[in-house]
Copies of this chain bind each other. A is one copy, B any other.
């Protein structure tokens, strides 16, 4: 069987006009008008459906096909007929139809408005709906756009380890990975769990970030990026947090915070451009049914400069808003960690576009961020976007051995655990910077979908590891 995808016909209907083709797909509706009927078929190759026209005289098993429910798999041969005066540009006049697999009458994806909550309980079928077919295609297009962006610029893709014996930066709660018998683990003489008998000879966890390892490779390749899963065992049940999510972490040698922001801004614009251009049908659907201002907002972002403001200036802006009567749940003052409400005020109310906030107080940021000369801030940057809040977090890294060592000791961390990391500062150190982009937050931003559970193929959250 040599099938033609529906996407190929839509790409150039003229070329297929009056040609015989064979398509295969799933029925979205079957309408029986006695002597003739219509089948709406989708094969997943594009957002659009194919209208199939069949009639009793031509299609021998007409009755069998007419009895097929939504979601049935069909193989259809026929002739492509242009239909300039109909809503769809062409239809397929069937000459033969094979029913490959009927759909049982209890098919849960019947044509009706199912709630997203219901669809979450049918993750194995939900990508058959318009909404989720659109979400997961945009996800795929965005992922590839990210690879393309970095590869075109000469970045080397590095896969950093998922299982790790370090805790990266104390960035969050971690999942333990083990082959020990949890019911009856081996114990040392003093009665503690004997992790030396675990698979790796020590206690291991799921990674929370590939950054420290990415730095190893930036110090030889110059520009590298990771794109892989990361994990947080945080017991938080919000619309923005999943226990398992994908991150992109570029790391660049000979690069300062300014260069870091340039790459981040160019990357976001590139991905937006790519998704808007190559998923017009999907974007139209999101714009119509999910988030009315989506397309306009994305176009605006892709063509305007991101705002840039220091943390200290941002706090002044928020304090002024506070003084002018804007009520924040968490009061603002220099030194606090910005809350989502503050981030959203800055990017949605004040700047009304993506906003880089730089130079945060050192006390609220990670040990590896480069100390600024003022002695109280570090060269950190967060990128805030309307509707989401923080989508990117980055920094210039502390490349000065003495300062980094001092900071590690000051925070009571174990320098031995960071020996490799410190080695990078011993042997040919140089200024370097990088950032982390939460991929699911990006997909939420691109689609207007407001729950992270609906942009992950099979989300993992507290209490949920089904499918």
Contacts and interface: CB of A to CB of B under 8 A. Distances in A.
Interface of A: 1, 3, 5, 7, 24-27, 43-45, 71-73, 75, 100-104, 107, 109, 123-125, 127-128, 133, 136-137, 139-140, 143-144, 147, 151, 154, 156-165, 173, 175-180, 182-183, 185, 192-193, 199-202, 204, 206, 213, 216-217, 219-223, 228-229, 231, 233, 235, 243-244, 246, 253-254, 399, 420-421, 423-431, 456-458, 460, 462-467
A158 B44 CA distance: 13
A5 B429 contact: no
Given A107-B427, A144-B157, 4 more contacts: A44-B156, A176-B177, A179-B233, A180-B182
A307 to B, nearest CB: 24
Nearest first, the 3 A-B pairs at minimum CB distance are A101-B429, A44-B221, A200-B465
A37 to B, nearest CB: 18
A239 to B, nearest CB: 18
A164 B253 contact: no
Nearest to A256: B1
Given A182-B193, A457-B217, A44 B200 contact: no
Given A193-B183, A465-B204, A467-B420, A163 B45 contact: no
7 contacts: A107-B426, A158-B457, A161-B467, A173-B179, A177-B177, A200-B464, A216-B467
Nearest to A225: B140
A200 B462 contact: yes
Nearest to A187: B183
A222 B154 contact: no
Copies in the complex: 2
Contacts of A72: 428
Contacts of A101: 399, 425, 427-430
A382 B177 CA distance: 31
Given A24-B430, A233-B179, A460 B221 contact: no
Given A213-B458, A427-B107, A163 B175 contact: yes
Contacts of A243: 163, 199-200
B164 A175 contact: no
A11 to B, nearest CB: 10
A175 B424 CA distance: 32
Contacts of A466: 165
A27 B428 CA distance: 9
A423 B161 contact: no
Contacts of A177: 175-177, 206
B192 A124 contact: no
Contacts of A219: 26, 128
Contacts of A424: 124
Contacts of A420: 123-124, 467
A103 B401 CA distance: 12
Contacts of A151: 140, 144
A430 B43 CA distance: 12
